[in-house]
A and B are shown apart, each in its own frame.
Chain A
Amino acid sequence: MVRVDCSGTDCLVQVRNLDKKYYRGNEVIDVLRGLNLDVSAGEFVAFMGPSGSGKTTLLNLIGGLDTPTSGTVTVGGEEINDLSGRRLTSWRARHVGFIFQMYNLIPVLTAYQNVQLPLLLTGLSKAERDRHVHTALELVGLADRAKHYPGQLSGGEEQRVAIARAIVADPTLLLCDEPTGDLDRETGDEIIEILHRLSKEHEKTVLMVTHDPLAAEKADSQLHLEKGLLVEAERRGEIS
């Protein structure tokens, strides 16, 4: 099954005939097999599926962390699979915010410094960077923890700092790889709520990989992958 249903200019992400193979010795592992996908701007999409189904690989390909074996990934009209490594790095900095399961904060930098990292790749002045970081931290409710190091924060707080870091440069896409996977239910719900708010109130396009059906329920769409193919697509409106 494919999910190719965007209409015209509304479509932010277009994936066509996406193949990704890994090679282990003589063995070829087909992780993604001719996958097609459209995601509208401002949409909150949850990818579900068993381990090894290709969810994270798909996210990495859309985020420009990896390159496909064949097929195309177009984001905002730009076909990123043709970009050189250098331009892809620059593209990531401008267009993608990543949120990881293990938060991936830099432990020796404060929350403020962690959030500021993506802004160091922009031409913003220090005063402007300051303002952006405080806005992002306020948005996730952690303005008062700016000077704390990751080791001084709870898991939920760390993930909120990671979200602030992901949104601080105002990227086109937020890619979340199991953002609640290391959190308890209550804290996980808070994180999903923030992502939902970012999608609805700030019109961010959020692509989230999760194993948690309750987390996925908050998304506009739940897409299921199995063996490198989209096997099922559920629209929020259609579930109920």
Chain B
Amino acid sequence: MAIPIEYNLRSIVVRWASALVAVIGIAGTVAVFIVVLAMGQGFKATLASSGSSQNAIVLRGGANSEMESVVTLEETKVIGDAAGVARQVGGTPLYSGEVVVIAPFPLRSSGTDANVQVRGVSALALDVRPNVHLVEGRFFQPGLAELVIGRNASLNYEGLDLGSEVQFGGGTWTVVGIFESGGSSFDSEVWCDATVLNQIYKRPENIFQSVTVHLNSIEAHQEFKDAITSDPRLNVDVYRERDYYEQQSNTIQTVIRQLGVSLALIMAVGAVFAALNTMYSAVAARIREIATLRALGFSPASVLLSFLLESVIIALVGGAIGCLVSLPFNGFTTGTMNWQTFSHLAFAFRVTPAILIAGLAFAVIMGLVGGLPPAMRAARLPVVVALREL
């Protein structure tokens, strides 16, 4: 049987000041680690929630994003008539040919301009995307220079209040409604009539950048995709809308994760040194106890495990505190540039159970790394010499 855990727990309590150094170091590192992962997770979730599995987005063949894509009016009609596309009661297919432009608006927080994605949509856009709904005002009237604003865009940018007039792209627009989309990236967008947007920006009127269709069911995706990709009139790529937006988050999420994990690793070096210091001093202060345990018949492996366990307990306390410290960041909203669209995107940090577990696992690793050399020293102490220690 191993050395009883009470030995380690009470030793930590008795030497709490020394343990506190390691606890604080590990707690800080774990908190940073969790917050960074929560940031990446929040960004990904914001984009992923923009898409519905029952929707498909169609881009020109080879285009990686809407910014690179062109779809003609004729193609949008072919796409809308394809198999698998849901229809309204009257038989109108549920699709929206869309264009996107970037327009600068001043941030309320700093007064500096940030890029906002302005999306020209069809009048059926709300039916195509059931997760988007108006919370104030009304939807734009086709043919008029009217805007409906995503909730986050309305909160974050000056001048995008209901009823206000806004100038961009050479035109004057009126804000007629505010919509919400459950915290997705659409909440950071401004929507208007696609035809009007093309006119004001002096673009060809019958050109779109993407077509989003609402399908009969989630399972209808393959039927729709087969129909579109086998049609010789079309040269397009088809994605589930959810997959498309998830993929859009990859670049930023990778950057956040790499920067964040690098930062956490640098901090972890400091935390590991704190754990090393704590555990080396614990061993130094308990040399005679260790020798006594060895004399009683506890093996070097038992001693090693006991001190490793002690280090891990300290690390777990630090990890738990780190988790608690990071929890208030859950839901904290911030914004960043979405490099796929070059527009500003608001998103909320998401501290998920999986991230908390990852944080605790990170703490355990720091505890093991910081505890192993002192534990090995404890296990290798020459018993006879150590028994003479005061």
Contacts and interface: CB of A to CB of B under 8 A. Distances in A.
A69 interface: no
Interface in A55-70: 60, 63, 65-66
A117 B289 CA distance: 12
Nearest to B390: A102
A90 interface: yes
A159 to B, nearest CB: 14
Given A109-B10, A113-B6, A104 B297 contact: no
Interface string B292-327: 111111111000000000000000000000000000
Contacts of A92: 295-297
A19 to B, nearest CB: 16
B231 to A, nearest CB: 76
A109 B9 CA distance: 10
Nearest to B290: A106
Contacts of B288: 102, 104
A66 B384 contact: yes
18 contacts: A60-B384, A65-B387, A85-B300, A89-B297, A92-B297, A93-B297, A98-B295, A104-B387, A106-B292, A106-B293, A108-B11, A108-B14, A109-B4, A109-B7, A109-B10, A117-B293, A120-B3, A121-B297
Given A94-B297, A106-B292, A120-B1, A65 B383 contact: yes
Nearest to A108: B10
Interface string A60-102: 1001011000000000000000000110011011100010101
A84 to B, nearest CB: 12
A118 interface: yes
B4 A100 contact: no
Interface in B1-25: 1-4, 6-7, 10-11, 13-14
Contact of B4 (A86, A94, A98, A113): A113
Nearest to A121: B297
Question: Range of interface residues on chain A?
Answer: 20 to 34
Interface of B: 1-4, 6-7, 10-11, 13-14, 288-289, 291-300, 383-384, 387
Interface of A: 60, 63, 65-66, 85-86, 89-90, 92-94, 98, 100, 102, 104, 106-109, 113, 117-118, 120-121, 165
A212 B14 CA distance: 36
Most chain B CB within a 10 A radius of its CB, from A89, A106, A118:
A106
Nearest to A92: B297
Contact of B292 (A60, A63, A100, A121): A100
Most chain B CB within a 10 A radius of its CB, from A85, A93, A104:
A104
Nearest to B289: A106
A128 to B, nearest CB: 13
Nearest to A57: B384
Nearest to A85: B300
A113 to B, nearest CB: 7
B4 A120 contact: yes
Contact of A118 (B4, B10, B13, B297): B297
B301 to A, nearest CB: 9
A93 B296 contact: yes
